Amino acid sequence: MNILINIVDQQQVIVTAVAEENPLRKLKDIAAELIKNKFKGTVIFDLLIFNGNEINRFVSITFDGIKFDKTCISHSAHIDPRLEMNQNKYFIQNKVLLGNSVLSSSELSNFSY
């Protein structure tokens, strides 16, 4: 599975797309991992590679400990500033991941600190 699962705390997980494969298509695999970790809460998907810095960069879905509640999906361009800053740092440190992204050259320059 070419995704990064980061358990932030007991109620939040961030799943980062790190390859050409959209993690929203791997919900079964992600659920299995979350069940193994006894996680229940909000799963935030960072889809920067696919959606850029648009209104749907972040997608949140509630996980009830067994399955995703697909009736509780929300899209957002931003999340908690600390979490978003950590996500941006991750991409700055792993710029190669952005090579196949939808980001324009000017947007890529925002990740060149």
| Mean predicted confidence (pLDDT) in 39-64 | 94
Six token digits for residue 59: 């997608």
Buried b (16+ CB within 10 A) or exposed e, 55-87: eebbbbbbbeeeebeeeeeeeeeebeeebbeeb
Cα 10 to Cα 69, 74, 95: the distances in Å are: 18, 20, 29
- In this predicted structure, what is the pLDDT of residue 1? 57
| Mean predicted confidence (pLDDT) in 44-65 | 94
- In this predicted structure, what is the pLDDT of residue 9? 87
Q: Which residue has the higher pLDDT, 110 or 17?
A: 17
Summarised one tens digit per residue, pLDDT across range 55-92 is 999 999 999 999 999 898 999 988 999 999 999 999 99
In the predicted model, is pLDDT for residue 2 greater than 80?
A: no
- In this predicted structure, what is the pLDDT of residue 49? 92
Spatial distance between the Cα atoms of 58 and 74, rounded to a whole number of angstroms: 8
- In this predicted structure, what is the pLDDT of residue 113? 58
Q: Which residue type does 24 have?
A: L
List, as one string, the DSSP characters of 60-93.
EEEE-SSSEEEEEEEEES---HHHHHHHHHHHHH
Contact indicator for 5, 15 with CB cutoff of 8 Å: yes
Q: Please state, as a whole number, how many other Cβ atoms lie within 10 Å of the Cβ of residue 46.
A: 27
The model carries a pTM of 0.91
Summarised one tens digit per residue, pLDDT across range 31-40 is 999 999 999 9
- In this predicted structure, what is the pLDDT of residue 100? 78
